[in-house]
């Protein structure tokens, strides 16, 4: 691991810890979910044995699916709460 990569990893770790602290302070999950969607796929994909292109595509696919889930989940929850007529 080169020095630049190590410094960027430390920055990301601190960034995620700030989001976790903010979510505990504000008592919401939103501040934990956003960094997980942003940095989680790349973090986990870098640790598998694959070429760089596979890591890039996998990370992008997981991020897009997670974003779509975050958008669609409240719609389903709102529809579930509405009484049937």
Decide if 68 contacts 46 (C-beta within 8 A). no
pLDDT band at 41 (very low <50, low <70, confident <90, very high): confident
pTM confidence score: 0.55
For position 34, what pLDDT does the model report? 76
Average pLDDT over residues 30-57: 77
End-to-end CA separation in angstroms for the chain = 60
Average pLDDT over residues 52-58: 83
DSSP H or E stretch at residue 28: none
Nearest to 29 by CA among 73, 60, 61: 73
Nearest to 45 by CA among 54, 34, 36: 54
Query: Has residue 27 got a pLDDT over 50?
Result: yes
Q: Across all residues in the chain, what is the average pLDDT?
A: 77
């Amino acid at each position: 691991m080169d020095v630049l990569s190590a410094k960027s990893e430390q920055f990301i770790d601190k960034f995620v810890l700030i989001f976790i602290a903010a979510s505990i302070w504000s008592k919401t999950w939103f501040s934990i979910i956003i960094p997980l969607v942003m940095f989680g796929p790349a973090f986990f994909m870098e640790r598998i044995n694959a070429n760089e292109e596979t890591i890039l595509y996998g990370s992008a696919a997981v991020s897009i699916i997670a974003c779509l889930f975050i958008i669609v989940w409240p719609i389903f929850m709102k529809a579930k709460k509405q009484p049937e007529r």
